[in-house]
A and B are shown apart, each in its own frame.
Chain A
């Protein structure tokens, strides 16, 4: 299959289930809400080293937030609910709570909840109080610009992690531009994140290494400078490769985002689009590139 002269490999991206939570961060202005959201999703690039992948979801107008202020939704993924709870505690407590005028609400209605507010409330040192409204408990923690308000419990569900696209091109600048366009298209899809910086990963990895205690290492078959020393997957014309990693709330939104990313990336300078998989051994979800383009075209 070709789109605008770009070859789409007949292959699939392999993805796996991850625990996911969605937070709604509000503040006095969209800028302050975004700052708090960026802080809360910092250094959450890859589950391999960070144990958490996080990124910005939708920007919410004031009429769509619980307190009627501008908001920013964020998604956080981890490999277990326990690890996710740990990161929620850490990131709400250390990034959102100190952010000026911020408040933090649950953005995912789910059967399973993790209690984060009931632990973080102790920052109030006895001056904290709670309010219950519509079946939800909110904690009020006094801070120096007023009160930090957060929900007691946050929902977590089963999301999908590891959706991916690999863009291979003969013009490094053009491939980078295509990757940026693809990342923008992916980020425009509600319910998904591209957790790498700018949504783009320059270091596709493989599990394991020749060194013990190293859990992941560079995927040499995609490194242009190693083509003469490895069983490369790059044809001679390929000079640059970028990977886009996509996590989402459901299989549907990840597929939709991957299709949007591919369509945005099909431009001059990109020779081929493929995806990473481990022959079906890594996870239960398979995103076949051709099927996605047919489904979401």
Chain B
């Protein structure tokens, strides 16, 4: 089933999709889809009040969100399967707690993209805000699985408390990427922000360029890591096409954060002394 939701109501109020399970929509008849409730501001409305809805028969389950999509928060929260395409910018908490399926944003994404994500794939063609793939407030685990690929840059504290999974940014990262990271992988092909890997216990941060790391990170020489080639080959196969040059290059490795356990690593392609 293919569902298209076009936001048609004007205004500035945010529309909260937090209670709307995208995966469940595909099993509903079109009339029932219109009756699903969402929060607009602090009031409940049915989808049909604010969206133009069209349903089509299709082999694969997919949902298209279009219109002024930046007003939609928590789109794809707890999504388990299917494909969600957001044409335009996505609001905060997009793909939070998702455990499966594929979510694609053609524009930029707001804060808390893929927060506490457990599985599936999140693809953003623009930039993403702060706390991308991080833990929910008060929780100790950020991403525990899945893949987030952001073509552009990511904001501050990306991958904070990350436990597993893969977070990729084609551009730069904000401050404190991988803050308190427990495991998992962050690949930032641009410039790594300040304070990277602070208090990280394990896991890997890979970056195209970094100038200064925290004193808890010790140099461990240059190497062309096999596991990184596997990741780059996988990313090249499915997501990013121009990684051939990266696969041939060595990285400078720093282990840390030695203030915590020292089992993490930051791999830097171009270290600016």
Contacts and interface: CB of A to CB of B under 8 A. Distances in A.
A208 B15 CA distance: 79
B234 A133 contact: yes
20 contacts: A66-B230, A67-B226, A68-B233, A68-B236, A68-B247, A131-B204, A132-B164, A132-B165, A133-B166, A133-B230, A138-B230, A140-B226, A140-B227, A146-B223, A146-B224, A146-B226, A147-B227, A148-B226, A149-B226, A149-B230
Interface string A194-229: 000000000000000000000000000000000000
Interface of A: 65-69, 103, 129, 131-134, 138, 140, 146-149
Contacts of A65: 233
Interface string B227-239: 1011111101000
Contacts of B225: 146-147
B263 interface: yes
Nearest to A146: B223
Interface in B186-231: 202, 204, 223-227, 229-231
A129 B231 contact: no
Contacts of A140: 226-227
B185 interface: yes
Contacts, number: 47
Contacts of B204: 131
Contact of B231 (A103, A133, A147, A148): A133
Sorted from nearest, which 6 A-B pairs have the closest CB atoms? Answer: A68-B233, A149-B226, A67-B229, A67-B230, A131-B227, A103-B226
Given A129-B263, A131-B185, A133-B166, A138 B233 contact: no
B232 A68 contact: yes
Among A66, A67, A103: residue with most chain B CB under 10 A? A67
B231 A69 contact: no
Given A129-B202, A133-B234, A134-B234, A68 B164 contact: no
Contacts of B224: 146
B227 A149 contact: yes
Interface in B124-149: 145
A138 B164 contact: no
B223 A67 contact: no
A104 B203 CA distance: 22
A147 B229 contact: no
Contacts of B227: 131, 138, 140, 147, 149
Contacts of A103: 226
Nearest to B235: A133
A14 B218 CA distance: 62
Contacts of B226: 67, 103, 140, 146-149
A133 B239 CA distance: 14
Interface in B243-273: 247, 263
A67 B247 CA distance: 9
Given A68-B233, A132-B165, A133-B231, 4 more contacts: A68-B229, A131-B227, A138-B227, A138-B230
A147 B202 CA distance: 17
Contacts of B185: 131, 133
Contacts of B236: 68
Given A140-B227, A147-B225, A149-B226, A67 B263 contact: no
Nearest to A150: B226
Nearest to A140: B227
Contacts of A67: 226, 229-230, 233
A48 B227 CA distance: 38
A69 B229 CA distance: 9
Contacts of A132: 145, 164-165
A108 B184 CA distance: 26
B101 to A, nearest CB: 14
A149 B145 CA distance: 21
A66 B232 CA distance: 10
A132 B232 CA distance: 14
Contacts of B229: 67-69
Contacts of A149: 226-227, 230
A131 B229 CA distance: 12
A138 B204 CA distance: 14
Contacts of A146: 223-226
A226 B231 CA distance: 61
Nearest to B243: A68
Among A129, A131, A133, A134: residue with most chain B CB under 10 A? A131
A136 to B, nearest CB: 9
Nearest to B204: A131
Nearest to B265: A129
A65 B236 CA distance: 13
Among B145, B225, B229: residue with most chain A CB under 10 A? B229
Contacts of A131: 185, 204, 227, 230-231
A66 B263 contact: no
A287 B60 CA distance: 42
Interface string B164-183: 11100000000000000000
Nearest to A102: B226
Nearest to A148: B226
A149 B226 CA distance: 7
